[in-house]
Structure 1
Amino acid sequence: MPKNQTEKDFLAECLQNANWLTRSLDQRAKTILKVASEIVRQQDAFLVHGVRHLKPLNLRTVADAIGMHESTVSRVTANKYMLTPRGVFELRYFFTASIASSGGGDAHSSEAVRDRIKQLIDEEKPVDVLSDDAIVDMLRESGVDIARRTVAKYREGMNIPSSVQRRREKRALASAGR
């Protein structure tokens, strides 16, 4: 038992600090859960069907939906990860830019468009290597309104060489295989 008032005051202050810390950690956990739940609600199609179904999403949309400030959502999503049926993703992964639809329909997520570009290039034939312009045309046919320079930027960001370089590589591979 404490012997004097100084010891009692010290212990009371320690208890008060411990209670404050416990409440703060509980509030932080509730905030993270709120943000993560809203992300899951907004990106449910991605979780079920994959990256092609990732929707454009920004911090404000989530903040408005859960009644918090955008900066709070930004802090909560920094360096936090979520285990999903599709793997582990940083919470920031779910916030993607919007690319307009060429048919006036729903906008497309930039991440979904990147995936589509990668798929088109992966499926190209050695005799028919796709130029960035050809990729733009194919994406427009499927409802994605995108500029050639954006396709080039996304392709370069994924470390995919230009059509000229890919054509050279595929010819070299074909001639080496003879």
Structure 2
Amino acid sequence: MKSINVHLKIATVSFLAIVLAGLVWLGITFVSRKFGIKLFENNVISTMGLASCILVCQYFVIKKYNNGRFSFDFIGLAFKQNSFKLLFIGIGVGTLMYFSWALILIVMKIVKFKGIGSTFCPVYNVTIGIISALVMSIFASFSEEILCRGIILNQLMQFKGKIFALIISSLIFTMCHTQYYHDFSALLSVFAMAILFG
């Protein structure tokens, strides 16, 4: 029997590791509900917990296939001299896009902004909302980049080429978002974003 390609094996193990991470997190939330702990029903804690489980699993996958060492170089995410500059530019562009999207929704009257500090929207709620969105974005995006654009995309590119790797990693990225987007057109836009990110 022909042995499986090492790059396909790493991508497959990485994918199975996120399935395991999801099951572990599901088990943690199930047990916590049995004991009446509703802390995990909070979106921020739930996202951070799942992302942390994914990161831990990917850490062990990288170590296993990189001679017992964890290295971002192994997954094509090497830090260079200008990496932090590019990181902050990326954060700035992402923040600008986030506020632009909010502005578009307000102008199109899809959402209504009722002011900071009014009875409808206290300052505390706005502050907590902004901090929560930032924390969730950092945890989720870091785990998604390591998984989809780090391990899976890079390993599949070495296995079958760029187009194949881009499509499969984007499908996995989209599949990871089915819990948030239940509409086909929304999932199609997530797939398109995954292609663009890849």
Q: Which has the larger radius of gyration?
A: 1
TM-score (norm 1): 0.28
Q: TM-score if structure 2 supplies the norm length?
A: 0.26
Q: Which has the higher contact order (CA 8 A, sep 6+)?
A: 2
Q: Answer 1 or 2: which has greater strand percent.
A: 1
